[in-house]
Structure 1
Amino acid sequence: MSKLRVLLTIDEASLGGGQMHVLLLTKYLDRENFEVEIATEQTGWLVDEVRKLGTIVHPISIANKLSWKSYQSIRQLFSSHKFDIVHTHGGTAGFWMRLVSIGLTDRPMMLHTYHGLHYLHILPGTIGFIFQLIKRVIFRLIDRFLLKYTDRIICVCQSDYDRAVAVKVAHPTNTSIVYNGIEIERFATPLDRDIARRRFGFGASEFIFGNVGRLHTQKGHEYLLRAFAKLNNSARLAIVGDGELRYESIGLADELKIERRVMFLGARSDIYEFLSAIDVFVLPSLWEGQPIALLEALAIGKPCIASAVDGIPEIITNGVNGYLVPPRNIEALTQAMDRAIDRPQPLTPFFGSSDCGSARFVAQQMATEIGNLYRVGRKSA
């Protein structure tokens, strides 16, 4: 039996959860059955990483708006190459690839993964609230239309599945849940704490709260900074990530007079080393799909504090293997961080416990489940 030619597509190649998912899928899909290629922007972290695996990368132009250049770029890709399966990740790639595929005479099997349904989340009282409402309606209509031309929808957590079905951008008959996976064996043994701390300039006796996430409204950094400012101790906060709210976040730290205790480390790929160096991981997101950084922090054995939103309670049980707090609740977040300082040890380990179902979060398992969906879909086509 010949290999199935699979094209994985995502709009941006910068480091992020969706890109990490695509990288691990590329790495662990069964190479005896699948020939994997990538379509994304020309340069970026993902491009560098998949090329290390010997994977072909097709540079394409994907715009976040209607663009003839984007249409031509993807049309040319489909004209020049025949793929058995096209698997899209993220709203922009999902829109363009599925749209262009409609007119193909020999259409590949089309799959789309929702890494969180971001456009469904609206923040009342914010600037542009009406625009957010309009965008939500438009994007839902677009995804409902494209669902007709999608062979399989994949959601990375149960909450995304429930929401996608409820708003009719997915249907139970062709929608599956495949949890995000990580390379657990890589995180099972932390790097030596002193070595890791020297790498980031942390003092040996300092108590460090750590956060990983792009500086965007979704990740709740404003609430993290305000909660941290209320702590009556000498702890420090280290934030890995970059984004549109970088300067606003730095300004807020100055305003709260905590700028000497907060470190903005920018976008980095050495997350294993960072998690080895910190004491407690904090993720105060306003919404999520299923955050990979949280899975990695749990795998490395760090106490975790996170918002009780979307896919996070599917990972953390409050008081059992971590602490859950309501989103946007500064007081609750402060109390949880204060409690973690008094008890900076993980609770029940999430990974390695036979009854917690943690095997579903292994990268190899994720790739196996998705590979099975590819095979079943091709047989029924």
Structure 2
Amino acid sequence: MASSPLIPKHNSGTTYKVVHVVQHLAPGGLETMVLELLKQAKDDERVFIISLEGELEQAIKHWPQLIKYRSHLFFLGKKPGSQVTLLRVMYRLLKVLKPQVVHTHHIGPLIYGGIAARLSRVPARIHTEHDMWHLTDAKRQKVENLALKLVNPILVADAQKVQQQLSQLFPYTTPTVIKNGVDCNRFVPANQAGARRILGLPAKVTLIGTAGRLEPVKAQATLIKAVARLSNDIHLTIAGIGSLEQELKDLATALKVGDRVHFLGLVNDMPSFYQSLDLFCLPSVCEGFPLSPLEAQACNIPVVVTDVGAAKETLCPLSGVTTKSNRVFSLVQALENALKTRHLFCPRDFVVENNDVRSMSEAYRSLVFKA
């Protein structure tokens, strides 16, 4: 697959425009990464985000940090199912914005944003795959295959595992790996006691934390069951909201650990959340390349993840521990092992070296802009 041309950069006062296209701009790993790329824009760049679904005010209500970027955001209000008229809307919007780069994320944005970019003759097109679970469906494979051939983007995988799967499914492509990054100037080590005071968490306990939507895919129930089998001085704190909140609270009560499991709801101060912990755990049954383990490790907190998707690739090889998904006793053992060795390593060093958002931003920039 041919790559898009490199666009020369110079000092003539030209403003370069980059448009990211996502399915739905709501709190999540992919969306957080795209927002970070917006924040990292240089003085001669303007970055916009187009969300196929949703509308601006509702998005800001659910994700307040979007408000400062509202002039950079567009919402197209896509309904479920195919919507051919949306392609025309996207085409017209791109003709107005006149970007040098359109960067799509996942299959829906590739179809609508990528094809509209090709039709409107955007010079450079990038498509990033953030996980591969959606391509287990044969129909989706055929649709993505056709879209890749029509759009002819620079193809990026956010993990080695994703790159391998893309190469197997679409052997004519040569995907580049650019791993997701986090802001290592924001996620930093800090005083644990102070962080616990900020969040109202108990001071003199060993604290395991997890963060994510309270939905089945994140498997917080498995983690609660595991914590119930650990010693009484080990507590769990959960950041996030979702449909399972009451069910998870009822489970903690039924297992007689209601006083050891602390539900924080939606946490805006995530650095303080990680800084309050002794250990972070992501017990999901399905993941792409998650950001939360990187954020935790950037705060020098060791991490346990289930070995799903590319979660393992986020781990510091010295301090990180993997476990099987939906296996309570396997998770208990992983948590105990990680707690025993948590003071021996510095996982922040791994993230600073491999997953800082500034390095990620420069890697994407180098795909299409000459120095």
The separation in 1 between residues aligned to 2:143 and 2:303, in whole angstroms, is 37
Question: Which amino acid in 2 is paired with 1:176?
Answer: T
Q: Equivalent residues in 2 for 1:226-375 (5 A)?
A: 226-316=225-315, 320-341=318-339, 343=340, 345-352=342-349, 358-375=352-369
| 1:223 lines up with 2:237 in the alignment | no
The separation in 1 between residues aligned to 2:78 and 2:356, in whole angstroms, is 31
SS at 2:289 equivalent: coil
| 1:81 lines up with 2:78 in the alignment | no
| Gap runs ≥5 in structure 2 | 1-9
The separation in 1 between residues aligned to 2:193 and 2:273, in whole angstroms, is 12
SS at 2:209 equivalent: strand
Q: 1:20 aligns with which of 32, 45, 56?
A: 32
Question: Which amino acid in 1 is paired with 2:189?
Answer: T
Q: Equivalent residues in 2 for 1:125-140 (5 A)?
A: 136-140=137-141
| Gap runs ≥5 in structure 1 | 122-135
**Structure 1 position 193, deviation (Å):** 2.2
The separation in 1 between residues aligned to 2:216 and 2:110, in whole angstroms, is 23
Contact 1:61 1:73 in 2 (8 A): no
Cα deviations by residue, 1:295-325 (Å, 9 ceiling, x for unpaired): 111111112111223323323256x222221
Q: 1:150 to 1:212 in 2, by over 3 A?
A: farther
Contact 1:154 1:176 in 2 (8 A): yes
Question: Which amino acid in 2 is paired with 1:159?
Answer: K
Q: 1:96 to 1:259 in 2, by over 3 A?
A: farther
The separation in 1 between residues aligned to 2:201 and 2:228, in whole angstroms, is 19
**Structure 1 position 237, deviation (Å):** 1.1
Question: Which amino acid in 2 is paired with 1:42?
Answer: L
SS at 2:204 equivalent: coil
Match of 1:142 in 2: 143
Question: Which amino acid in 2 is paired with 1:78?
Answer: L
Q: TM-score under structure 2 normalisation?
A: 0.85
Identity %: 24
- Aligned CA-pair RMSD: 2.7
- Number of matched residues? 353
Of 250-259 and 198-207, deviating more is 250-259
Match of 1:117 in 2: 132
**Structure 1 position 157, deviation (Å):** 1.0
Match of 2:194 in 1: 195
Q: 1:54 to 1:286 in 2, by over 3 A?
A: closer
Question: Which amino acid in 1 is paired with 2:176?
Answer: S
Match of 1:151 in 2: 153
Match of 1:178 in 2: 178
Question: Which amino acid in 1 is paired with 2:211?
Answer: V
Q: 1:200 to 1:91 in 2, by over 3 A?
A: farther
Q: 1:164 to 1:267 in 2, by over 3 A?
A: farther
**Structure 1 position 286, deviation (Å):** 2.2
Cα deviations by residue, 1:271-300 (Å, 9 ceiling, x for unpaired): 101111122111112232221110111111
